[in-house]
Amino acid sequence: MPPSAGKAQLFVDRDYGGKNGTLDVGEYNISRLKEKDQAGNDTVSSLKVAPGYAVIAYTDANFQGDSKEFTADTPYVGDAFNDKISSVKVRAASAAKDTEQNGDDWFYFEDSSSG
């Protein structure tokens, strides 16, 4: 199932649960929070990716550290990346391996579980 909007959706819990944030194509650091007590840096456990797109996740800010490319919905990002993702790039799958640049965009999570 594709993200609810945008090209990628990151979740703080396994199996697409908990607070989440939706991203369009771009480069994002996850180090700042929208407001106190919201999810953010080092909290991602699962993600959804729209068909034809890729999410490249990094364990450190500014696209540093270990990286992994996700091209499909992933109910658990794996032990090496669970609660360790600090920056991401969202690209068309064919562009995911293009030359990388640092971005200045910031990513904010929203809690869609409250009604």
| Count of domains for the chain | 1
- Domain enclosing residue 50, as ranges: 8-103
CATH of the domain at 55: 2.60.20.10
Q: What is the mean pLDDT of residues 52-60?
A: 95
> 56 and 30 in contact (C-beta within 8 Å)?
no
Sign of torsion over alpha carbons 38, 42, 43, 46: positive
Structure tokens at 70: 């996700």
Chain mean pLDDT for the chain:
80
pLDDT single digits (tens) 25-46: 999 887 653 434 445 788 899 9
Asked if the structure places residue 115 within a domain, the reply is: no
Q: Letter for the amino acid at 106?
A: W
Asked if the structure places residue 48 within a domain, the reply is: yes
Q: What is the pLDDT of residue 31?
A: 64
Structure tokens at 106: 């910031």
Residues whose CB falls within 8 Å of the CB of residue 31, separated by 6 or more in sequence, listed in order? 40, 41, 61, 86, 87, 106
**Cα separation of 25 and 72, whole Å?**
15
> 27 and 105 in contact (C-beta within 8 Å)?
yes
Residues whose CB falls within 8 Å of the CB of residue 51, separated by 6 or more in sequence, listed in order? 2
Q: What is the pLDDT of residue 41?
A: 83
Q: What is the pLDDT of residue 99?
A: 42
Asked if the structure places residue 1 within a domain, the reply is: no
Asked if the structure places residue 32 within a domain, the reply is: yes
Q: What is the mean pLDDT of residues 69-94?
A: 94
Asked if the structure places residue 23 within a domain, the reply is: yes
Asked if the structure places residue 113 within a domain, the reply is: no
Asked if the structure places residue 112 within a domain, the reply is: no
